Structure 1
Amino acid sequence: MSKRLIAIVSIFFSCYSVASQNPTKYSIESSFSYGRLLAHRPIMKKLVANNSYSFEATINFNTNGKKLNHRYYNYPIYGLTLNYTNPGNKIQIGNIVSTYGFFSLPLYNKKNALRFKLGLGVGWVEKTFDLQRNFQNTAIGSHINTNIQLKFEKVIPINKLNQLKWAILLNHLSNGSFQTPNLGLNIVQIQAAYLFGIKQQQIDTSKLEIKELKSSELSIYNSSAVKENQTPLSNKYYINETTLQYNFRKGPKTSYISGADIIVNNSLLEFTGNKIQLGVFIGHLMHLNNLKIGIQLGAYLYNRKDESETIYNKLFCEYDFSNRIYSRLSLKSHWAKADFFSLGIGYRIL
């Protein structure tokens, strides 16, 4: 690519992204949230006793344009959060403590734009299902769970170092059927926060080399999981999944994907007498340098459990260790019903 074109593109991104630049390099954030546990299944209505509230402490790392993806995504924010939540039911659920990493992206190119935040981490739930002592808690069967937070947030600047923020969020905790019951906890809240900035941001406006992107990739990956069926305290079943995936790159931020899954699912033996499943899928992949976030929508071609599980979907993240090798963490579900979490490794063939 010519030096002239690199210069033009660099100037374009500098002008386009100026509205989303962050004034400080870091910021410390404290917040209070208030809302309610959702009874997303009728059996969970008894768990909703009172309104919920949360406290969060967060450190934000504001990007400065040093990498191309900073400019493509209008200066995203990365960070780490520690969360305490009272879900509104101290007797059956108790306290919740979680920590998660996140990224936050502006939804449009405007100063102090509305942002979308996605967090992924680990949460501890104090009180879980117990057949003798806590049979009312049909939502969570394990103390340790995956924590996923979705948030829409808006910053209100006070001055260069101080900001206020309001947000609407959904906080989800589940273990992907590793230990049942696993209906999961979904808490919806509104949030108010105060941010204190540390160290003035130095925006990098230098010319960056724009690498030529491969138009397509073919990958294979293998992952493993462990799950229980719906009966609490039942056996755990090993699951192995092999996937062949084709990526069609559509610009620096996006890939469209399609492929096939071969699944060895031992939990199906008691339902269908067969542990082999075949499925095909389509999806979307968002590129954030070495980190990638993806979604898939698939359908079983062979050996579905029942009619309610004809369609499956996945939310996953990948991290590139090299040009060929990457890891993947995935949550597979049937609509809103989690099936299992899996962890695996992939290899790019082409």
Structure 2
Amino acid sequence: MRSMKNFYILCMLMLLSFTGIAQKKNYALSIHGAGGFLLAHRSVMAHLPQQHTGALNFRLSFLGKDGKYWQQLMNQPTYGLDVHFTSLGNKNLLGKGIAGLYFVDVPLSKSLFYPSVYGGAGLAWVEKIYDVQHNPKNNAIGSHLNLAVRLGLNMNYEWEQTHLHFGFHVMHFSNGASKMPNLGVNLPYVQLGVSQFIGDAETEEYATFKALRKDVTHWRILGVYSRKDVYPLLQKVSSVYSLSAIRTKYKSKYWSYDLGVEFIANQAQAKMFPNRVIKQGELLQVGLYTAYVLSFDRLDLFAGLGGYVKNDLNIAGWLYQKVGARYHFNDKWAVQFAIKANFGKADYLEYGINYTFHEK
């Protein structure tokens, strides 16, 4: 419980720090209430949903009026920090959850009554997790700290500086198979909210980070480290290493595509064959990979598909997918975070460092 309170304090400090930054910008303070349920997306989770879920979230939003290319392209979206408090549908086995997310809400039209698409990602804290002695029936989540992803569709009404919101959202908590069990927590819900915009900002035109990269090709190397847990439970968590060579072609100011080859040493595979000695050569996987990349100034969001050309143990099949984000510190260095999955089943989380060594 003390750790959950610490996570709550961290989320509120982040919100307050964003408020300090917002003093000279057009920004909004929002409050939203939501109701929904815990989705038992696997038959073995049918015992978990016991109550309806309720949620309350506080949001600090910036209005995209800085003249950046991606803001103009997306009808001046709002973006910022969302702190989300929710019950999880089973107070005895799951308890409550808190999430802090960075989000973008993109209007689909320019009018007083307009739809928008919401996407957010961050970290979440789950109060009650699997414990072999004290909570063995919680087969959904095995770690307190998790990744949080939230997607939604909103209908909004703009009345001067006040905006009213109605939407359908889905929240997902998962640790990316870093600690089993990891079936995940999915929370569909409807929400109502109100935002009050404060201040005004003049639009300025200037070259963005990605605008300077138009019509160029980059060659990058990517190093990744991860931790992966497998069944049976209570084993030691294994390490995953990978090294990739990637060619990135920027087709415009806001999108590009990646082509790459990656070499993966997934040590967790050996635990799937407890009665056999697995050599490192058998653990090595080689994959070919491509991804679509959408750029927001220094931030890239990407979704990709890969296939193995070497996959000796073939535990999860020959195809895999990735969804993630990459942040550029400068023209050379970037950090990357991604989820690698096999058709909806998490394989592991990727924590990576990119280095660009050639550009033309």
**Please, what TM-score do these two structures have when normalized by structure 1?**
0.88
Equivalent pair of 1:179/1:233 in contact (CA under 8 Å): no
What is the CA distance between 1:251 and its match in structure 2?
Answer: 1.4
CA 1:206/1:276 → structure 2, altered by over 3 Å: closer, same or farther? closer
What is the CA distance between 1:305 and its match in structure 2?
Answer: 4.4
Which residue of the partner structure matches residue 131 of structure 1?
132
- The CA distance in 2 between the partners of 1:348 and 1:335, in whole Å, is 30
In the TM superposition, what are the counterparts of 1:127-166 in structure 2 within 5 Å? 127-157=128-158, 159-166=159-166
1:251 aligned counterpart, secondary structure: coil
1:46 aligned counterpart, secondary structure: coil
> Are 1:328 and 2:336 counterparts?
yes
After superposition, the C-alpha distances for 1:24-72 in whole angstroms (9 at most, x for unaligned) are 8111110011111111111011111122111101010112133232212
CA 1:211/1:111 → structure 2, altered by over 3 Å: closer, same or farther? farther
Equivalent pair of 2:67/2:206 in contact (CA under 8 Å): no
1:309 aligned counterpart, secondary structure: coil
Equivalent pair of 2:311/2:318 in contact (CA under 8 Å): no
RMSD after superposition: 1.9
Which residue of the partner structure matches residue 10 of structure 1?
none
Which residue of the partner structure matches residue 262 of structure 1?
263
After superposition, the C-alpha distances for 1:138-178 in whole angstroms (9 at most, x for unaligned) are 01001111111111122212x21211101111101011111
> Are 1:250 and 2:251 counterparts?
yes
- The CA distance in 1 between the partners of 2:300 and 2:350, in whole Å, is 16
What is the CA distance between 1:120 and its match in structure 2?
Answer: 1.1
What is the CA distance between 1:91 and its match in structure 2?
Answer: 0.7
What is the CA distance between 1:230 and its match in structure 2?
Answer: 2.4
- What one-letter code is carried by the residue in structure 2 that aligns with 1:251? S
Paired residues in the alignment total: 325
- The CA distance in 1 between the partners of 2:235 and 2:329, in whole Å, is 37
> Are 1:340 and 2:311 counterparts?
no
- The CA distance in 1 between the partners of 2:87 and 2:328, in whole Å, is 37
What is the CA distance between 1:214 and its match in structure 2?
Answer: 3.3
1:37 aligned counterpart, secondary structure: coil
Of 201-210 and 296-305, more deviation after overlay is shown by 201-210
In the TM superposition, what are the counterparts of 1:128-207 in structure 2 within 5 Å? 128-157=129-158, 159-199=159-199, 201-204=200-203, 206=205
> Are 1:316 and 2:321 counterparts?
no
Which residue of the partner structure matches residue 7 of structure 1?
none
After superposition, the C-alpha distances for 1:305-342 in whole angstroms (9 at most, x for unaligned) are 43643211111100001111111011111111111112
What is the CA distance between 1:206 and its match in structure 2?
Answer: 4.6
What is the CA distance between 1:271 and its match in structure 2?
Answer: 3.4
After superposition, the C-alpha distances for 1:246-301 in whole angstroms (9 at most, x for unaligned) are 12222111112221110011111233622211111121000000001001111111
- What one-letter code is carried by the residue in structure 1 that aligns with 2:317? E
- The CA distance in 2 between the partners of 1:300 and 1:260, in whole Å, is 10
Equivalent pair of 2:37/2:188 in contact (CA under 8 Å): yes
Percent identity, aligned pairs only, is 25
- What one-letter code is carried by the residue in structure 1 that aligns with 2:268? S
Structure 2 regions of 5+ residues with no counterpart? 1-24
- The CA distance in 1 between the partners of 2:354 and 2:205, in whole Å, is 34
CA 1:206/1:292 → structure 2, altered by over 3 Å: closer, same or farther? closer
CA 1:269/1:212 → structure 2, altered by over 3 Å: closer, same or farther? closer
CA 1:111/1:325 → structure 2, altered by over 3 Å: closer, same or farther? farther
- What one-letter code is carried by the residue in structure 2 that aligns with 1:119? G
CA 1:117/1:247 → structure 2, altered by over 3 Å: closer, same or farther? same
CA 1:212/1:42 → structure 2, altered by over 3 Å: closer, same or farther? closer
2:46 aligned counterpart, secondary structure: helix
1:39 aligned counterpart, secondary structure: coil
- What one-letter code is carried by the residue in structure 2 that aligns with 1:187? L
Equivalent pair of 2:105/2:117 in contact (CA under 8 Å): yes
CA 1:212/1:45 → structure 2, altered by over 3 Å: closer, same or farther? closer
**Please, what TM-score do these two structures have when normalized by structure 2?**
0.85
1:113 aligned counterpart, secondary structure: strand
Which residue of the partner structure matches residue 4 of structure 2?
none
What is the CA distance between 1:80 and its match in structure 2?
Answer: 0.5
What is the CA distance between 1:110 and its match in structure 2?
Answer: 5.3
Equivalent pair of 2:213/2:253 in contact (CA under 8 Å): no
Which residue of the partner structure matches residue 223 of structure 1?
224
